[in-house]
Amino acid sequence: MVYLRVVILVVLLVIGGSLQENRKYQPPETIAELAARPFLHKDCSKHVHTGFACMAFIRRYKWNQKEQQCTLAIYGGCHPTKNNFQTFEDCQKVAEPICANRL
């Protein structure tokens, strides 16, 4: 009986937490919207998504704001951002002119 109460409590907590998170959720740009717009300064600090829901292991390059250069990243396969380039050269060509802090 105690086991059943614990299971019910856990289920209620999980469902309640999910519902609260959904209220805060802001949908990301659609892939079409993302592809249609140019790379902007706000994209410089975006991360390449590697969450548990995305199980791919794709080598990509991203602008690393801290290192001020393009670095290797592993993309999970979903929730793309503009800071996600197929080649190092593409990353340098697109992101560096916009993101690099020039003195």
Range of the domain at 84: 31-99
Distance (Å, rounded) from C-alpha 18 to C-alpha 16?
5
Q: Which residue type sits at 49?
A: H
Tell me the mean pLDDT in the region 82-94: 95
* CATH number of residue 48's parent domain: 4.10.410.10
- Confidence at residue 23, expressed as pLDDT on a 0 to 100 scale: 46
The reply to whether 22 falls in a domain is no
Overall number of domains in the chain:
1
- DSSP letter assigned to residue 85: B
- Confidence at residue 77, expressed as pLDDT on a 0 to 100 scale: 86
The reply to whether 7 falls in a domain is no
Q: Which residue type sits at 34?
A: L
The reply to whether 79 falls in a domain is yes
Distance (Å, rounded) from C-alpha 94 to C-alpha 86?
12
What is the sign of the dihedral through the CA atoms of 59, 60, 61 and 63? negative
Q: What percent of the chain has pLDDT over 90?
A: 40
Distance (Å, rounded) from C-alpha 11 to C-alpha 9?
5
pLDDT tens column, 8-29: 655 555 555 444 444 444 556 6
